Amino acid sequence: MATPAFNPHVHALPVHVCQKMGYDWIISDVTPDGFRGKRVLDFGPNGYPLLPLLAKWGADAWWHDRNPGCAATMANLAEKSNVIISEQKALIARPEFDIIVASNAIQHNHDGAETLYGRLVAQLNDGGRLYVVECLAHGKSYWDTGRADPCWRRTLSDHAALWAAAGLRLIRTALFHYGLAGGPDAAWVSPVNGDMAAATRVCARLERGPC
């Protein structure tokens, strides 16, 4: 099975195919032109190079990460890309972002996902969008310690419960799987083209409002 065709800018990013799948889905939903003039927050970027790309497309680009070492990495990325990206030092209740991206980020918090979603919602302006990419489990949610960076693998129903509790409405979703080696073993999963139980990630576009 061939690796999905990515936006060429996403394809060029030096990141694992798992990140590329999520980034490409988000960008296809917004479109590159759709970032122009938008205030965008990358929550938990961990030094990944998505934000400089969005800044090149005209986004007012911000980031927030609990890792203090992330600042130097993000500054280096901004300098190399000749763009401005800024740090949002605290997630305070100030709705000012049009788009928030949380790609493989919320899942790494053992406790407090409910609080995090609430804080992110409080950052969204009217009509703002939250894009998440998260690990997916089938049957039962569990805290996965069998990896260097432990994370939650939640079922779709548990993800949906978290989103609803935060006052988020699910607008669009997609599922995919990928191989740990990164190569060609990556594909979108749907009832039409595959086994839903094979999906290992969920992408979602969420907006403020009743579910």
Q: How far is CA 166 from CA 10, 23, 93, in A?
A: 30, 23, 14
Domain CATH number, residue 59: 3.40.50.150
67 assigned to some structural domain: yes
Residue 210's pLDDT is 55
The pLDDT of residue 139: 94
* Inside any domain, residue 41: yes
The dihedral region occupied by 105, where left means phi > 0, alpha psi between -120 and 50, and beta the remainder, is alpha
Residue 3 in domain: no
- Is 129 contained in some domain? yes
101 part of a folded domain: yes
- Looking at residue 147, what is its pLDDT? 87
- Structure token pair of residue 26: 């988000």
* SS3 state of residue 98: strand
Let me know if residue 2 belongs to a domain. Answer: no
In a domain, 1, yes or no: no
Flag whether 140 is in a domain.
Answer: yes
What's the confidence (pLDDT) of residue 111? 87
Report pLDDT for 1: 41
Query: Total domain count for the chain?
Result: 1
Give, for all 211 residues of the chain, the pLDDT tens digit: 446 789 999 999 999 999 999 999 999 999 999 999 999 999 999 889 999 999 999 999 999 999 989 999 999 999 999 999 999 998 887 889 999 999 999 999 988 899 999 999 999 998 899 999 999 999 999 999 998 899 999 999 999 999 999 999 999 999 999 977 655 678 899 876 678 888 999 999 999 875 4
CB atoms within 10 A of CB 30: 20
Tell me which residue range forms the domain holding 22: 8-208
How far is 81 from 190, CA to CA, in rounded Å? 36
Q: Phi/psi of residue 138, each to 5°? A: -130, 130
pLDDT at 163: 97
